[in-house]
Copies of this chain bind each other. A is one copy, B any other.
């Protein structure tokens, strides 16, 4: 029987899990009713469409992600770093019509200098720390806006975001580079060379990007090499900017296998290594910790 419902609600997707009293996942469902597709009035309906049949009586829902943004269900605000990842006590209750529901939304984390925000990743960090409470080092969360998070004594000390994933999507899908990137092959050597160039000379990034197009026109660079080089250049430039986060640090990665694997490979060439844990598992662990804290 469903004890509570865990929800990871991002800009483009809603994922929900029916949770047992012992923290086990009973059922999972998802929809494309992300925050970006909804007006405030639409969130409750979207949730019930996905999770409605799990609800038999009064049920708590604990959610994280863009659902707590200004344009979300309710503005859950931000905890300000340095801080512990927001827990249940910081959750904001969302207005509902169906009185069986009690919906708690976790805040994000903000930082004033340099100005930065996260919303969703803090819950993955909370889940990671619930499993490894003694971790002291840096967590890298590769994604649309990759985050580097310095952890000490259970707190988010500081963090920095890079637009690497979104730039890859825009450049590979909509820029002049798209002409040379057809298919889905991957060339490890071209990736490694791209990382090296991006890391050693980030000042040439926006020129090296155009160079991918020129290599395609002049030297028939293969699409698999072009795509891997594009990814490598962007990740390499990110590593140049995030050096203080990974050089000589205890590292951990939270993310999807393929993308996190690319970061692990790029950093291994710099003798920086760390283990990967799964993003969805960490989100669930963080939501479980928040649910426990709500009592």
Contact = CB atoms under 8 A, between A and B. Distances in A.
Contact of A206 (B111, B162, B176, B208): B162
Contact of A176 (B166, B210, B241): B166
Interface in A199-229: 201-211, 213-215, 217-219
Contacts of A214: 110-111, 114-117, 161
Most chain B beta carbons < 10 A, residue from A161, A201, A206, A211: A206
Nearest to A219: B115
Interface in A140-184: 145, 160-164, 166-167, 170-171, 174-176
Contacts of A171: 170
A272 interface: no
B115 A204 contact: no
Count of this chain's copies in the oligomeric assembly: 2
Contact of A241 (B70, B78, B206, B241): B206
A63 interface: no
A114 B213 CA distance: 12
A121 interface: no
A282 B176 CA distance: 25
Contacts of A207: 114, 160-163, 238, 241-242
Contacts of A62: none
A270 to B, nearest CB: 14
A173 to B, nearest CB: 9
Given A115-B219, A116-B211, A117-B217, A175 B202 contact: no
A240 to B, nearest CB: 4
Given A166-B176, A174-B174, A175-B163, A115 B206 contact: no
B175 A210 contact: no
A112 interface: yes
A233 to B, nearest CB: 10
A164 B110 CA distance: 29
Contacts of A202: 202-203, 205
Given A203-B240, A206-B237, A211 B115 contact: yes
20 contacts: A111-B214, A112-B218, A114-B207, A115-B214, A115-B215, A117-B213, A117-B214, A145-B176, A145-B210, A160-B207, A161-B211, A161-B214, A163-B175, A163-B209, A163-B210, A170-B170, A201-B241, A202-B205, A203-B240, A205-B205
Given A111-B214, A145-B176, A170-B174, 7 more contacts: A112-B218, A115-B214, A115-B215, A162-B210, A203-B203, A203-B243, A207-B238
